[in-house]
Structure 1
Amino acid sequence: MSRTTAIPRSPRLRLTARVAAAVFGGYAFAWGVVAAGASLMFAAGMGFHDAEFLASLFGVLAFLTTFLWAFAARRLWVVWTALAGGGALLAATGSLVQSLLV
């Protein structure tokens, strides 16, 4: 009986996949948080530089949280789905809000 899975069998490949998810997926998600947060706070009436600074602080916290979660999660595909999908959704929200403001 053949077992076909997408999970790397080598411990080094598993670790590499986790590190890639933590770094690249976490960066994409944090970038989405900053983009959506800054545009939404500016649209709500906050000054641009204040909104940008506060969103950047939230982005650092989001990156730290997702980085740690990528190593603690049981299933790596859930991490990739949440980080890539969430990052894309947040970036799209930020882009939409910015286009409505201009």
Structure 2
Amino acid sequence: MLLLMSARSSSVSSATPSGRHILIRITAAILGGYVFIWGFIGLALAGLYALGMPFHDAEHLSSMLGFLLYLTVFLWAFAVRSLSRAWLVLVGGGVLMTILASLIQHWLV
């Protein structure tokens, strides 16, 4: 029985993430989430304005949706298995949405 408990505790301790891993995941959730939401708000604002919504209404709606999405993205950054996938989706998606928003804004002007 003691041997079984020690084998079980060693497998649990090896599955526990290190402090560095947790710090990197927190950084991904905060900074990567910020980049993702920056791109989302820019894209939503440009898209809604391009569809005919008044600017300030589009601004407020995209900001409110961005706040809710930030919470979702923040929690997802801890739930995803791969840390590199979290960084890729958050930063890559944010940059892609920012580029698309810039193209829409350029098209409107």
CA shift, 1:73, in A, is: 1.0
For structure 2, the 5+ residue unaligned runs are 1-16
Larger radius of gyration: 2
Cα deviation, 1:65-101, whole Å, max 9, x if unaligned, reads 1100111111111100001110011001111101111
Q: Which has the higher helix share?
A: 2
Paired position in structure 2 for 1:38:
45
Any runs of at least 4 consecutive aligned residues in structure 1 with deviations exceeding 3 A, and if so which?
Answer: none
CA shift, 1:40, in A, is: 0.4
Taking structure 1 as the reference length, the TM-score comes to 0.88
1:49 to 36, 50, 56: 56
Pairs aligned (count): 93
Taking structure 2 as the reference length, the TM-score comes to 0.83
CA root-mean-square deviation = 0.9
Paired position in structure 2 for 1:101:
108
Q: Distance in 1 between matches of 2:38 and 2:89?
A: 14
Q: Distance in 1 between matches of 2:66 and 2:24?
A: 22
1:91 aligns with 2:59: no
